[in-house]
């Protein structure tokens, strides 16, 4: 018995050690970025365009570009994702069509981001002649975000008790009225949480925007959705690999702004989740 207890202690110690070996680098990574980047963060850095071949000035156009891409991605993926989830949960019968949709969602979630980039380039940039533009980039990122949004929306809809639907239907409401007024409102928190998370991932992606929207160096703001923009992740890629003698602190500061943006979105998602969980009535 004693031997078994000793054995248990050793085993738990090893598990804890593995955990520590993961947690320590996470904290170190974030601390490293913050420590090296915080010094270069200033009002000027956030609000001005880059100058002198990106070696001076700020990253304002890249911040604006990334925010525009997030908005564009949401405009396309949110309605499509919610409606698809509504179909799967509320309307679909167990037939070939439904199984194909489910298989497609699984497949979409596994496609590497660079393949989305290639696809966006051929379909939106070349075939539909949208050019390298905010529109092409948003559409590409939207398709990439779809599976996460559909899955989140599906779970949120499934969590709404069946009795809600039965009562609404028994009162003479149509199928759509039931979905619209009795099911969707209760699923909104779950859908929002999943959407913000998937958008934060889209904001940090580089590969899908490489050929569809990202501009190497464009120190002005876009005029229409057919313009190219700079974007934070691509800007970090460019200044850390393509620009010789780049001041390190500017690269770190760009990384810090990107990480801060993504963390902020995750925080919003977490707060939404906590807030709505408190209000839940069933």
- Within 177-216, which residues bind another protein (CB under 8 A)? 200-201, 203-207, 210-211
- Subset of residues 38 to 97 that bind another protein, contact rule: CB under 8 A: 79-80, 83-84, 86-88, 91-92, 97
240 binds another protein (CB under 8 A): yes
Residue whose C-alpha is closest to residue 201's, from 263, 253, 150: 263
Of residues 21 and 223, the one with the C-beta less far from another protein: 21
Task: Count residues binding another protein (CB under 8 A).
Answer: 83
119 binds another protein (CB under 8 A): yes
Among 58, 61, 117, 189, binds another protein (CB under 8 A): 117
226 binds another protein (CB under 8 A): no
Q: How far is the CB of 82 from another protein (least distance, A)?
A: 8
Among 34, 64, 67, 114, binds another protein (CB under 8 A): 114
Of residues 171 and 223, the one with the C-beta less far from another protein: 171
Q: Which two tokens stand for residue 97?
A: 């069509």
- Subset of residues 133 to 152 that bind another protein, contact rule: CB under 8 A: 143, 146, 150
25 binds another protein (CB under 8 A): yes
Q: How far is the CB of 62 from another protein (least distance, A)?
A: 12
> What residues contact residue 24 under an 8 Å CB cut-off, 6+ apart?
none
- Subset of residues 247 to 276 that bind another protein, contact rule: CB under 8 A: 248, 251, 255, 258-259, 262-263, 266
**Residue 247 burial (CB count, 10 A):** 14
Q: How far is the CB of 113 from another protein (least distance, A)?
A: 6
CA dihedral 146, 147, 148, 150 (to 10 degrees): 80
Among 23, 167, 171, 271, binds another protein (CB under 8 A): 23
Residue whose C-alpha is closest to residue 116's, from 142, 134, 140: 140
Of residues 45 and 211, the one with the C-beta less far from another protein: 211
Of residues 22 and 223, the one with the C-beta less far from another protein: 22
Q: How far is the CB of 187 from another protein (least distance, A)?
A: 14
Among 31, 38, 75, 100, binds another protein (CB under 8 A): 100
128 binds another protein (CB under 8 A): no
Q: How far is the CB of 256 from another protein (least distance, A)?
A: 9
């Amino acid at each position: 018995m004693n031997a078994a207890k000793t054995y248990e202690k050793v085993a738990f110690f090893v598990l804890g050690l593995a955990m520590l070996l993961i947690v320590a680098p996470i904290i170190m990574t974030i601390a490293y970025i913050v420590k090296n980047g915080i010094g270069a963060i200033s009002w000027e850095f956030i609000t001005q365009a880059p100058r002198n071949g990106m070696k001076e000035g700020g990253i304002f156009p890249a911040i604006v570009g990334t925010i525009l891409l997030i908005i564009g991605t949401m405009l396309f993926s949110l309605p499509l994702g919610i409606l698809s989830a509504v179909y799967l949960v509320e309307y679909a019968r167990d037939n070939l069509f439904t199984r194909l949709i489910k298989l497609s969602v699984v497949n979409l979630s596994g496609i590497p981001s660079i393949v989305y980039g290639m696809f966006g380039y051929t379909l939106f940039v070349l075939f539909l002649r949208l050019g390298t533009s905010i529109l092409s980039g948003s559409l590409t990122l939207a398709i990439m975000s779809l599976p996460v949004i559909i899955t989140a929306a599906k779970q949120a809809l499934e969590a709404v008790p069946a009795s809600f639907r039965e009562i609404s239907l028994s009162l003479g409401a149509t199928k759509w009225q039931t979905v619209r007024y009795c099911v969707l409102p209760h699923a909104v928190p779950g859908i929002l949480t999943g959407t913000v998370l998937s958008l934060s991932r889209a904001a940090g992606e580089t590969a899908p925007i490489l050929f569809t929207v990202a501009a190497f160096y464009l120190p002005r703001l876009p005029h229409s959705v057919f313009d190219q923009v700079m974007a934070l992740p691509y800007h970090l890629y460019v200044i850390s690999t393509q620009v010789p003698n780049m001041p390190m602190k500017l690269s770190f500061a760009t990384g810090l702004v990107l990480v801060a943006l993504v963390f902020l979105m995750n925080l919003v998602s977490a707060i939404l989740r906590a807030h709505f969980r408190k209000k839940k009535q069933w």
